[in-house]
Structure 1
Amino acid sequence: MVKKAIEVLDEMLKYGCEPDEYSFGCLLDALCKNGSVKEAALLFEDMRIRFKPTIKHFTSLLYGWCKEGKLIEAKVVLVKMREAGFEPDIVVYNNLLNGYSVAGKTVDAFHLLQEMRRNNCEPNATSYTIMIQALCAREKMEEAMRVFADMESNGCEADIVTYTTLISGFCKWGKIEKSYELLDAMIQKGHTPNQTTYLYIVLAHEKKEELEECLELIKEMQKIDILPDLSIYNTILRLACKLGETDDVEACDYFKEMVGRGLLAVPQYGIMKDLLNSLLRGDKLQLAKDIWSCIIGKGCELNVYAWTIWIHALFSNGHVKEACSYCLDMMDAGVMPQPDTFAKLMKGLRKLYNRQIAAEITEKVRKMAADRQMTFKMYKRRGERDLKEKAKAKKDGRKRRARQRRWGSRNRKADTL
């Protein structure tokens, strides 16, 4: 709310409350970090009339210009800072290094490193990591490793961020073996990798569809007491579902472990849906039930969408009676089924001639609808309409994909000719 903050500053003057250096400094810093560096520059000039700027004020402004990629303006601030009697410190230099590196001006960045040393401001791990990160982003891995070597030769010890940056760079460009070498070197130097370090390697294996390697990596993590985070769990489960490897109990165990650690929430419903459908397509009904029992047993707060995923997965894979049974459980838990879920189950039960379960579900839905002050007739009509619309959308989607395949086939034939 930067605009509002400026208005408050103006209000202070109207009421005879003179803003002090701290007030200006806070606003200046906020403007620079918020991408409003032009407004910050105007405020800075206004502030200079009233107060003597500190190195922190100059640093904020320099950071703002560097963030915007305005390196000429950043250099002007550096000149003004020196004119005011301040020599740049490590924070100022690192801001400039980041500006040069992000802009791809690696030569200027190297020159700045040399200038830092000449001015008795030794580059720290952050200084080198900034450059390494920029080089990794441009697939200049050999240059990144040269900076890394230069870092070590100058007695600056790489930290976990430096190693993770290099590992992510090699993984991004498909050089997984090199990332393992760095991982080993990192551990030997006494630095414990974190979950993010391992995530980059797991994602690289996912790209190559190497599930076994992912599972082995998790075992290595656990040996040094590092538990997978949500991103790693999701990657493993996503790949297992894609490869149809959910008959391997290991994938299900990782999901249960994730649930047991309280990590299942709305954003993870997608991976839950993929896993349950994959199990049911592979005729692993009991394993799918075990997964759902684990979710319920661990006390996860489930909304109507979670129940719908499970019920629709059962229904879509031919387990109509089980779907109805869990629908009753859902209503016993105080969650009312969505109208199209009710319509779908009724349609399936009609085919099975199972009037008893249909009547039981209908009666409970009627009561829940009445409690929510809605008519059962309207609820039922809406469900039938939604079901038809979804069926039509699905049919249209199949037709569209079929057309795309035909056009693709024709284009390939034309290319061959």
Structure 2
Amino acid sequence: MRQFGAVWALIEEMRRENSQLITSEVFVVLMRRFASAKMVKKAVGGLGRRLGHFTSLLYGWCKEGKLMEAKFVLVQLREAGFKPDIVVYNSLLGGYTAVGKMADAFDLLEDMRRKRCEPSATSFTILIQALCGKDRTEEAMRVLLDMERSGCEADVVVYTALISGFCKWGKVDRGYEVLDGLIQKGHTPNQTTYLHIMLAHEKKEDLEECVELVGEMRKIGCIPDLNIYNVLVRLTCKLGESKDVWWKLVTTFKEMVGRGHLSAPQYGTLKELLNSLLRADKLELCKDVWSCIITKGCELNVYAWTIWIHALFSNGHAKEACSYCLDMMDAGVMPQPDTFAKLMRALRKLYNRQIAAEITEKVRTMAAERQMTFKMYKRRGERDLNEKFKAKRREGRERLVDASGAVVIVQLTLCNRVRGFTD
């Protein structure tokens, strides 16, 4: 609303009440607003009078990629008699690298040394991370050597950035070399370190390499986390054919559940696993997975139950889907309206009036407890199911049109080439 006077008053009130409330993130918000209002000089002038805010002000401009404004703050800082410290320089380094101005970042590093402000481990880390993100990993390795010569010890974060860079750009062997160097230096790799290598193996569909890597993690006491498990689950679902592979997948997932990693954000992994098992006709294994989830006491909401029931239904196991729907309601979870509608349609085809009546009666009771009419619930289920069906039909038609378009393009291209030859 451009009420900047009120903003300054609020900042002053925050400072009086609790100065810790005025964080760097607050200044990012302020800088964004001032920049959009074209009030750069006023922002610098207003905050410049509060000399303790210079560093945060500079950080805010760098975070927003406004490097000219950041340089102006630096000039103001020097004119006010302050000598820029390592925090100021690192903010500028981060700003330069964020917008890809690596030459300016290296010039700033030399300027720091000329002004007797020796680069810190953070300074070198900023440069290494930026170089690794731009496929300049060998330059990043040279910065690492410079870092060590300067007396700054590289930590796990630095080595992980290097491993990430090499793996991202398809140089997995170099990633392993850096990993060996990390261990030889006496550092312990963490889950993120290994994850970058595993993601590279996932791209190449190297399941055995991933399994071996998890074994190496366990040997050094690095317990796999959710991201590691997800890679194994995704890759096994994609490649799983033999019985042994599926058993390994289920064992991995059970371990993941046992460590408490299954919650709502991970339901996508659950859906992928269940559908993959059922498509491979591994119903008993699938039931074993669900039983493990239940017995481990995982808090399952309606979406988890829906994933399981719909997976069964979609893969031709309608009776099992109905049975687990009853289990869901016994657990106090009411099915979504479209789930109920889908099961009722299936039961009508199966002529199983007994189970249909049992499910209907329980749903009717649960609806009454939640102060909703069964008639509205049933109507909403039919409507949602019809809308999903229509959406799938539209998607199918769009894919058909796209495919037809691609065929036309290929035909036209061939025709043009033929014309070219005849001409």
Same fold (TM over 0.5): yes
The answer for the alignment partner of 2:6 in structure 1 is 7
Q: Determine whether 1:165 maps to 2:161.
A: yes
What amino acid sits opposite 1:79 in the alignment?
V
1:68 deviates by: 2.5
> Match for residue 110 of structure 2?
114
**After superposition, where does 1:286-301 map in structure 2 within 5 Å?**
286-301=284-299
Correspondence for 2:77 among 65, 81, 93: 81
Kindly provide the CA deviation profile for residues 179-211 of structure 1, in whole angstroms up to 9, marking residues without a partner as x.
111111111101111111112112222222222
**Deviations 1:48-107, CA, capped at 9 Å, x for gaps:** 55x6x24xx322222222222233332333233233333222212211222222233322
1:254 CA displacement: 1.8
CA deviations on 1:293-318 (whole Å, 9 max, x unpaired) are 11111111111111111111111111
Please name the residue that 2:226 is paired with. 230
* Residues 371-382 of structure 1 mapped to structure 2, 5 A cutoff: 371-382=369-380
Match of 1:351 in 2: 349
2:410, 2:70 → 1: CA distance?
Answer: 53
Instruction: Tell me which moved more, 230-239 or 26-35.
Output: 26-35
In structure 2, do the counterparts of structure 1 residues 359 and 187 end up closer, same or farther at CA, with 3 Å as the change threshold? same
Aligned counterpart, 2:188:
192
- Decide whether aligned partners of structure 1 residues 12 and 283 sit closer, same or farther in structure 2, where only a CA change above 3 A counts: closer
Larger displacement relative to structure 2 (151-160 or 332-341) = 151-160
Following superposition, the deviation at residue 246 of structure 1 comes to 8.5
Q: 1:119 to 1:298 in 2, by over 3 A?
A: same
Aligned residue number for residue 63 of structure 1: 59
Structure 1 stretch 108-117 or stretch 258-267: which is displaced more? Answer: 108-117
1:416 Cα offset (Å)? 3.8
Contact 1:125 1:158 in 2 (8 A): yes
Using the alignment, how far apart are the partners of 2:248 and 2:30 within structure 1?
47
Report the count of equivalent residues: 408
Which AA in structure 2 matches 1:144?
A
Paired amino acid for 2:317: H
1:181 paired to 2:177 = yes
State how 1:27-66 maps to structure 2 within 5 Å. Answer: 27=22, 29-34=24-29, 36=31, 38=34, 42=42, 45-46=45-46, 53-54=51-52, 57-66=53-62
Deviation at 1:12, TM superposition (A): 9.7
Structure 1 partner of 2:207 = 211
Q: Is the 8 A contact 2:341 2:378 kept in 1?
A: yes
- Stretches of structure 2 that go unaligned for 5 or more consecutive residues are 416-423
How far did residue 325 of structure 1 move? 1.0
Q: Report the residue type matching 2:27 in the other structure.
A: C
Report the Cα offset of residue 226 of structure 1.
1.2
The 1:42–1:229 alpha-carbon spacing in structure 2 relative to 1, beyond 3 Å, is farther
Secondary structure of residue in 2 paired with 1:34: helix
Query: Where does 1:279-290 land on structure 2 (aligned, <5 Å)?
Result: 279-290=277-288
| Structure 1 contact 125–162 (Cα < 8 Å) conserved | no
In 2, the alpha carbon distance for the partners of 1:81 and 1:356 equals 81
Structure 1 residues 28 and 256: CA distance shift in structure 2, 3 A:
closer
Calculate percent identity across the aligned residue pairs. 64
Query: Any stretches of 5+ residues in structure 1 without a counterpart?
Result: none
In structure 2, the partner of 1:307 is 305
Secondary structure at the residue paired with 1:321? helix
The answer as to whether partners of 2:15 and 2:21 remain within 8 angstroms in 1 is no
Contact 1:170-1:178 at 8 Å conserved across structures:
yes
TM (normalized to structure 2)? 0.87
Residues 28 and 60 in structure 1, CA contact (< 8 A), matched pair in contact too: yes
- CA positional deviation for 1:256: 1.4
Any idea what the Cα deviations from partners look like across 1:218-275, whole Å, max 9, x if unmatched?
1111111112222222222122223345852122222112211222111111111111
- SS of residue in 1 equivalent to 2:181: helix
Check conservation: 1:9, 1:19, Cα contact below 8 A.
no
Q: 1:178 to 1:83 in 2, by over 3 A?
A: same
8 Å CA contact 1:62, 1:92 repeated in 2: yes
8 Å contact 2:278–2:315 — kept in the other structure?
yes
Distance 2:290 2:356 in 1: 23
Shift in CA distance, 414/132, structure 1 to aligned 2, threshold 3 Å: same
